Structure 1
Amino acid sequence: MVMLAAAALCLLYYLLISAAMRKWNSTFAGFWPGAGAVCLAGHMAVTWGPRRLALTVWCLFLIALFVFAAVELLILTGMREEGGDDCPVILVLGAQIRGRAVTVSLRRRLDRAAAWLERHPGGRVIVSGGRGKGEEITEAAAMAAYLEERGIDRERILLEDASTTTWENLLFSKRYIEDADGPVGIVTNNFHMYRAKAYARRAGYRDPRGLPAPCGRVLFLNYMTREFFAVWKMWIARKQVSGR
């Protein structure tokens, strides 16, 4: 019954995401019907399969649950506010835009950055992001325009407009930072902060400070689950590089 309930919850959550976003193909949303199908298959194997198969399925289910919980706990630890009052510069990581307009997720990052800039009139901000599919301008240009609309002086905004990944956001933006050994504020959504800071340290930032922006409640679990796979991809890529 546990796996059958899990299958039903996965399907219900997919429907909730679709209703909230008003489309069926939101980012990573397709994972949930797939996960529901796997749970349903597991339920059938446990219920009608031979005892050995049932035990194998239960072991795999519990191992996967344990690994998922352990990684999610690490992601949660990265969400804490670390304070950036002594940071001379903050870095806002890019996210998808639609045409020229920032998305809700990116707007939350920019609002977080604007609030910091208003409290620290001597501080500067780097907006980082190139141009991707379906984007009429670079993410950096859209981010800069949004901050200017919020009343931030253009002279305080530095644009890094060549990056296409989180790793490149951090690596390419470093050239705009006078002292990467000092504190640098990293602005991104809370679920993304653990990975962002890990990449920052790998890129040579000695003191990255997390300035997390919120995430919508409905999509929080969806993005947290996506981050589970993104973190594993980051770890595996590092292992492959170090093993050469």
Structure 2
Amino acid sequence: MGIITSLLGIVCILYYIAGVRYAGYRVSGLWIWLAAGIGWMVWGGCRIGCAVAGVPFFVPGALVAIVRVCLLAGLVLFFYLEHQIGTGMKAKGIENLDYIVVLGCQVKGTKPSKALKDRLDTAKEYMQANPETIAVLSGGQGKMEEISEAECMRRYLEKAGISRERLILEQRSTTTRQNLRYSRRYMDYRHDEIGIITNNFHVYRSVLLARRSGYQRVCGIAAPCKSVLLYHYLVREAFALAREMLHKR
């Protein structure tokens, strides 16, 4: 058992290193893989050390039972949340929506991050196929960003051939909840047909938030996530979804 937990710790640490090499240290919550890896390795090392020294590795039976129950309950909840997230990962929306809301994501200087570029490419394809649809580009300016996320998106889509007249900028929001609330002013959100474009792992929660914000005719449109960090995003999204489900409307 000690060897298995030690190997699990090594895998977690290697994944953390891969994530840092791919996207840098600024990825939210990435440190949890390093912490988990160290924790598993310490636990495994203690088990192995006791076995080598011939010393019993004693943990009170009551504590073991409590930990097992908590782990089982946590795993059941985690897989339920991942199932819900999975239902939105292939969402394609419907044709001829009145509006699409493209949710902002990290901008590196003035250029879109890889995740944001995936969202923008999906928006571009949808708008080319549905020439009457208007896009609300939602995202303010964060730390280390030279321009707002909305402005970055406008530049990218204009360069891709989308007319400026079809692009509306919402430049105040810094969270998904704010994206959806602040974008409402540009649409008749209770009657218009609206699509939410974001990366696939983020679709289910975004549509849930949109409905809680009063959107009546809303659907998700999933952009791909071509990243080594997809597993991290899925785990992080499960915790965010759990928090959202506990949050009062």
Q: Which residue of 1 aligns with 2:54?
A: none
The two structures, once aligned, show a CA RMSD in angstroms of: 2.2
Alignment correspondent of 2:182:
172
- After superposition, residues 177-196 of structure 1 pair within 5 angstroms as 177-196=187-206
- Highest CA radius of gyration, 1 or 2? 2
Map of 2:14 onto structure 1: 12
Contact 2:189 2:216 in 1 (8 A): no
Does the 8 A contact of 2:22 with 2:228 survive in 1? yes
Alignment correspondent of 1:27 = 28
Tell me the equivalent position of 1:211: 221
CA distance in 1, matches of 2:40, 2:68: 11
Distance 1:198 1:138 in 2: 25
Residue 59 of structure 2 is matched in structure 1 by 50
Cα distance per residue 1:70-116 (max 9 Å; x no partner)? 11111111223243203111110011112211111001000000000
Q: Distance in 2 between matches of 1:82 and 1:229?
A: 25
SS of the residue corresponding to residue 229 of structure 2 reads helix
Shift of residue 237 of structure 1?
A: 2.6
How far residue 24 of structure 1 moved from its aligned partner, in angstroms, is 4.8
| Mapped pair 1:222 → 2:232 | yes
Give, in whole Å, the separation in 1 of the partners of 2:223 and 2:13: 28
Tell me whether 78-87 or 104-113 shows the greater mean CA deviation: 78-87
| Structure 1 pair 210–234 and aligned structure 2 pair: CA distance change class (3 A) | same
Aligned to 2:86: 76
Offset of residue 45 of structure 1: 7.5
Number of residue equivalences: 238
Evaluate the alpha carbon distance shift between residue 104 and residue 134 of structure 1 in structure 2; reply closer, same or farther with a 3 A threshold: same
Bigger shift: 42-51 or 229-238? 42-51
Q: Which runs of 5+ in 2 are unaligned?
A: 51-56
Partner-residue secondary structure (3-state), 2:168: strand
Which deviates more, 98-107 or 227-236?
227-236
| TM norm structure 1 | 0.88
Q: Is the 8 A contact 1:174 1:180 kept in 2?
A: no
Misfit runs of 4+, over 6 Å? none
Distance change >3 Å, CA 56–CA 39, structure 1 → 2: farther
Q: CA offset at residue 185 of structure 1?
A: 0.9
What amino acid does structure 2 have at the position aligned with 1:6? L
Alpha carbons 2:137, 2:154 under 8 Å: kept: yes
Match of 1:145 among 138, 150, 155: 155
TM-score by length of 2: 0.87
Answer whether contact 2:19 2:30 (CA < 8 A) is retained. Answer: yes
Counterpart in the other structure of 1:66: 76
In structure 2, do the counterparts of structure 1 residues 39 and 57 end up closer, same or farther at CA, with 3 Å as the change threshold?
Answer: farther
Identity percentage over the alignment?
A: 36
Residue aligned with 1:218, SS? coil
